[in-house]
Amino acid sequence: MKINSVEIEDTFAEAFPIKISRVLITAVTEHWALEAAREATGFGTSVIGCPSEAGIECIVSGDDTPDGRPGVYIQICNMSYKNLEASLLNRIGQCILTAPTTSAFNGLPEAENQFDTGKKLSFFGDGYQKMMDNYFGRKVWKIPIISGDFIVEQAMGAVDGIAGGNFYILGQNQMAALVAAEAAVDAIRKIKGTITPFPGGVVASGSKVGSRYKGLKASTNTAFCASLREDGVCVLTEDVSAIYEIVINGINRQAIEESMRAGINAACKVPGILRVSAANFEGKLGPHQFKLHDILA
Amino acid sequence: MKINSVEIEDTFAEAFPIKISRVLITAVTEHWALEAAREATGFGTSVIGCPSEAGIECIVSGDDTPDGRPGVYIQICNMSYKNLEASLLNRIGQCILTAPTTSAFNGLPEAENQFDTGKKLSFFGDGYQKMMDNYFGRKVWKIPIISGDFIVEQAMGAVDGIAGGNFYILGQNQMAALVAAEAAVDAIRKIKGTITPFPGGVVASGSKVGSRYKGLKASTNTAFCASLREDGVCVLTEDVSAIYEIVINGINRQAIEESMRAGINAACKVPGILRVSAANFEGKLGPHQFKLHDILA
Amino acid sequence: MKINSVEIEDTFAEAFPIKISRVLITAVTEHWALEAAREATGFGTSVIGCPSEAGIECIVSGDDTPDGRPGVYIQICNMSYKNLEASLLNRIGQCILTAPTTSAFNGLPEAENQFDTGKKLSFFGDGYQKMMDNYFGRKVWKIPIISGDFIVEQAMGAVDGIAGGNFYILGQNQMAALVAAEAAVDAIRKIKGTITPFPGGVVASGSKVGSRYKGLKASTNTAFCASLREDGVCVLTEDVSAIYEIVINGINRQAIEESMRAGINAACKVPGILRVSAANFEGKLGPHQFKLHDILA
Amino acid sequence: MKINSVEIEDTFAEAFPIKISRVLITAVTEHWALEAAREATGFGTSVIGCPSEAGIECIVSGDDTPDGRPGVYIQICNMSYKNLEASLLNRIGQCILTAPTTSAFNGLPEAENQFDTGKKLSFFGDGYQKMMDNYFGRKVWKIPIISGDFIVEQAMGAVDGIAGGNFYILGQNQMAALVAAEAAVDAIRKIKGTITPFPGGVVASGSKVGSRYKGLKASTNTAFCASLREDGVCVLTEDVSAIYEIVINGINRQAIEESMRAGINAACKVPGILRVSAANFEGKLGPHQFKLHDILA
């Protein structure tokens, strides 16, 4: 299979179940909604070493937010609902409540699982917090802060989502692969329901499950390291000299498929891209499989 | 005392000891160094609910980095050296190693305390990592990754620093206080040795030590909430309707003083700013005091 | 009439006819499409002293561009079709052809007026330019350049549009008015068909038609200058201390109305905004009138 | 000669005399100083088709501006002092006077040539403008505008400068050359005295003097177009597939040399760069020569 003369390998991305919450941050300007979103989703690339996975999903105009202000959807992801609830409380409390002019709304109001995160946060008001039953149609807490009032929705929803959707961009050189990765992230940022949690949306250091050292759960994906060619462990053809990976989390299978499709199509338009592949681990990572040829058919 | 007709109150900022590491991230372009820095310093506003405090210190050109590429200094702060070492490992490993084209250098090579963070990270190389004794004058590990090689300095230094340096910007309205806060952060970003760890460098929700609820270590600083005027707990004069706080961490007292001076001077140039104050808590927060009048004399 | 407790004055914006072309710039990433768009629309605030009026209309994803790459729509506006054609040639030739990885497509393929701008630009190829009849459905020229090939559509469309749609944001102070102006521009940027040609989309220096000096076609709108209160020429009530204006050009009346509505609604959500008004000049500027109360009804 | 294994060709950049003015824009925040600077320097890549060449020189903190606010230096360049004076008047009047919160200071107060641009602009005040003899040490005009007062220095200096300093970055593919160009521009932006006037600082379409068509002063530099290899006019070796050019204007020879050195060194650090060259035209463009080997020795 080829897209724009870039070969799409006949392989699949292996992904795993995760719990996901989705928060809609609004602020006085898009700039300040984004500042809050960046802080709230930082240090959130992989649950291996971060307290959660997190990322910016998309930017929305005031037409698509309860309070009519510009907004940014973010996602926060943990392996269990218990840890997710704790993450939500900390990330909203430390990074959105503290950010200028922001409000935090439930990004999954229809979900079955609903945490009372807003209520828990409201105690910061030290007795002066107030519940409002119908703030633009939402049940919220108004917490007095030194810059005004912070509005946070009483409930925050969560769903069974998927983490680790992915594809590999194989480039003639590092810069071609990098710009293609950026183009892929641009495209995925326009799609609702998914995040690319790594820095700038890109993974420079794709890993394999396990390592030769005890206790290290993941290590560099040696088979795909061009710099290990002389060591005999690299399976890449000679023309490939660098790879970037895009990792995608999403609230359901469809969103991830759509994002993989948009991202791969975008990457294949960049000169110097030779092949697109994906990472899988014989089921050691998880049960979900995304076959590239099926998604791109 | 007045600066540009803005009254500087005769008070002081109360701050507390913290342990600080400083990492110099370099990358192929300033853009990618900043992307890595943002991810690595996110979810890092306050040790109350974040795994560490963290922020971007300043941007430097290739003239001021070991490898001649554009760079960004970040700081990571924890209450103990033990937790700081763990934070460093996780934040560099999850957010800089994974970021496109980055290298991570020791930002405090002269410090007495040096962690072997680079060595610990090198195991990600799964046996293919290599030590280099003199990489632009530094002892580093070269770790093969799918996009090329990741370079990380063997040692990462740490010092006894100070957290919680602060000032309050009292505005005629919320937007005046907000733009003044942004102007203050612009000024502080040019100064070496300090960070402003909150979202966009600004605190919307200045807190006091303790609360009426057991187990809640901090709560909204009621005395400075204009919206609590009718509740009788607000001590602000009638003309003030909103406050933003700038919180500053730094590797030493001088850097914090210089940043407070630059930030306050910048804020006082913004129309609609009425007064500058600072937060202190009768020693309940910490032993360090920064008197506004002394700093601005 | 009040929106969010901000008074909307019962007045209208006076606007004038202008000729508008619309170009769709695509590039390898959104970043590079925007860089080209900024250069191509700079020095383009007012036909009084600029060679044309110009601005960024909106950003689109690859789903909405002929070549599937991220895109930015820009508009270029002149008083006559003849000057517009010259402006198009110069701005595309100097600012888009010269920008990395860009292509330039016709943003008004259905318009009656079509210039052969692409053909004229193709001579830069010095004999090596080639016409392609069906490049993603468009008739284009492929011009060899040192970084690859530049693609420009043969025809560029133009329509009779409207310039000078506007509203005034009256603030308690300058910063409130400024942030409200930024919020308004954020909202207008999401809407197709219009641009806000001034710096950052905002006018700091609203003008009136004519002046006391011969030959000066426009001068400061003295009646709305709070700093001229003591001179007796300011008609503003005492509570207003600063105003920013949003000026809107658009390809038709509906687009301007929609943008005025979105922008005013956004501005009225910002604390410290007292009133919204509009500028009109007894017909001396032009025949088009946009009544605020009608638009917001 | 090699830098980081990239061959530096033994050639020179050919440049020509130009007249340059330098304006220091200050604003309430760095963000707004940059917005004004971008508008004021747009449509300013080449005097062939733009009303002037223009660009952002560097960003400075409040420590380095008369009024203590953040600032951006820009340069405006024309072939004659007469045209330069007109350009200054239009670009400052249309793009800086109209921008939120800006002031415009003389960036070359020591130059022999001084225009009275501030005085001419002051008539916009319609009789209410006021001269101030000592505004932070400068003689300025205060012009009342609807958002406050606009401050512009009475005199704006100009010098005999140089345009067209340049180098070519030859890449294995387009993306390598593009990222190297961005890295070069990052480095040059830190240096005082020069601008890179093309979009994002980069030229995608390096030209030669003249063409086969009468009246066309410049055309694509066929000898350096990899896509013309089969046409027999390309002199590039087979390994090169794309080139980006950096064009540099500066207030003196030293500044251009320093910028070329910084830019070339930065580009040579980017993987996939094969060679660095420069454009010259047997003296048909101008008398100034910058030998790469001399500059980099």
For the stretch A174-187, pLDDT in tens is 999 999 999 999 99
Distances in Å between the Cα of A49 and the Cα atoms of A15, B47, B94 are 18, 18, 6
Q: What is the amino acid identity at position C122?
A: S
pLDDT at D94: 98
- Is the pTM value of this prediction over 0.95? yes
Confidence of residue A32 (pLDDT cuts 50, 70, 90): very high
Cβ neighbors of C90 (< 8 A, separation 6 or more) are C51, D43, D49, D50
Residue written as token pair 């009788």: B232
For Cα atoms A146, A149, B245, give the angle at the middle one, nearest 5 degrees: 25
- A223 Cβ under 8 Å from any chain B Cβ: no
Token digits of residue C102: 């860009």
**Span D10-54, pLDDT tens digits:** 999 999 999 999 999 999 999 999 999 999 999 999 999 999 999
A262 contact residues in C (CB cutoff 8 A) = 61-63
Q: Pairing relation of β-strands A156-171 and A113-115?
A: antiparallel
Of the candidates B67, C181, A208, B32, the residue with the CA atom closest to the CA atom of residue D269: B67
Confidence of residue A236 (pLDDT cuts 50, 70, 90): very high
CA distance A125 to B207: 10
Give the SS3 label for residue D47.
coil
E strands along A124-189, which residues?
130-135, 138-145, 148-153, 156-171
For Cα atoms D61, D67, D69, give the angle at the middle one, nearest 5 degrees: 35
CA distance C91 to B294: 55
pLDDT at D215: 87
Which residue is closest to C174 within chain B, CA to CA? Answer: B271
Q: Which residue among B62, B179, B190 sits closest to D61, beta carbon to beta carbon?
A: B190
CA distance A32 to A95: 12
**Span C20-57, pLDDT tens digits:** 999 999 999 999 999 999 999 999 999 999 999 999 99
Whether residues C272 and B180 touch (CB distance < 8 A) is answered with no
- Sign of the C-alpha dihedral computed for residues C124, C127, C128 and C133 taken in this order: positive
Residue written as token pair 């060449």: D53
Is pLDDT of A62 > 90?
A: yes
Report percent pLDDT > 70 for chain D.
100
Buried b (16+ CB within 10 A) or exposed e, B51-72: bbbbbbbbbbbbeebbbbbbbb
CA distance A199 to C28: 20
Is pLDDT of B137 > 90?
A: yes
Interface with chain A: mutation pick from C61, C63, C147, C150, highest number of A CBs within 10 Å: C61
User: Are the C-beta atoms of A204 and B146 separated by less than 8 Å?
Assistant: yes
CA distance C204 to D149: 9
- B269 Cβ under 8 Å from any chain C Cβ: no
- A261 Cβ under 8 Å from any chain C Cβ: no
Buried b (16+ CB within 10 A) or exposed e, A37-57: bbbbbbbbbbbebbbbbbbbb
Token digits of residue C166: 């506007």
User: Are the C-beta atoms of A65 and A138 separated by less than 8 Å?
Assistant: no
Average pLDDT over residues C192-196: 98
Q: How close is the nearest chain A Cα to the Cα of C235, in Å?
A: 29
Whether residues D242 and A271 touch (CB distance < 8 A) is answered with yes
Q: Which residue among C62, C179, C190 sits closest to A61, beta carbon to beta carbon?
A: C190
The question of ipTM being above 0.95 is answered as yes
CA distance D177 to D185: 12
Phi/psi-derived region of residue D235, left when phi > 0, alpha when psi is between -120 and 50, beta in every other case = alpha
* H or E segment to which residue A19 belongs: strand A12-26
In chain B, positions 228-257, which contact chain A (CB-CB < 8 Å)? 228, 231, 233, 242-245
CA distance B127 to B155: 20
Is pLDDT of D5 > 90?
A: yes
Q: How close is the nearest chain B Cα to the Cα of A2, in Å?
A: 23
Which residues are B53's β-sheet partners?
A: B77
Confidence of residue B165 (pLDDT cuts 50, 70, 90): very high
Q: Which residue among C29, C148, C179 sits closest to A29, beta carbon to beta carbon?
A: C179
CA B256 to chain centroid: 10
**Span C54-80, pLDDT tens digits:** 999 999 999 999 999 999 999 999 999
E strands along C1-70, which residues?
2-3, 6-8, 12-26, 53-60
The subunits that touch chain A, with at least 3 C-beta pairs less than 8 Å apart, are: B, C, D
Backbone angles phi, psi at C224, to 5 degrees: -110, 15
**CB atoms near residue B246 (< 10 Å):** 30
Confidence of residue B215 (pLDDT cuts 50, 70, 90): confident
pLDDT at C215: 87
Helix ranges restricted to H, D142-235: 174-188
Whether residues C173 and B271 touch (CB distance < 8 A) is answered with yes
Average pLDDT over residues B240-267: 98
CA distance B136 to B105: 11
Is pLDDT of B297 > 90?
A: yes
Distances in Å between the Cα of A45 and the Cα atoms of A13, B142, D5 are 18, 22, 35
The subunits that touch chain B, with at least 3 C-beta pairs less than 8 Å apart, are: A, C, D
Beta-carbon contacts below 8 Å between A and C:
66
- D133 Cβ under 8 Å from any chain B Cβ: no
Give the single-character DSSP code of B286.
-
Average pLDDT over residues D102-115: 98
pLDDT at B206: 97
- C181 Cβ under 8 Å from any chain B Cβ: no
**CB atoms near residue B185 (< 10 Å):** 23
Whether residues A176 and D178 touch (CB distance < 8 A) is answered with no
CA distance A62 to A68: 4
pLDDT at C32: 98
Give the SS3 label for residue A11.
coil
Q: What is the amino acid identity at position A167?
A: F
- B204 Cβ under 8 Å from any chain C Cβ: no
Distances in Å between the Cα of C141 and the Cα atoms of A1, B146, C97, D211 are 30, 39, 12, 18
Average pLDDT over residues C93-119: 98
Average pLDDT over residues A227-247: 96
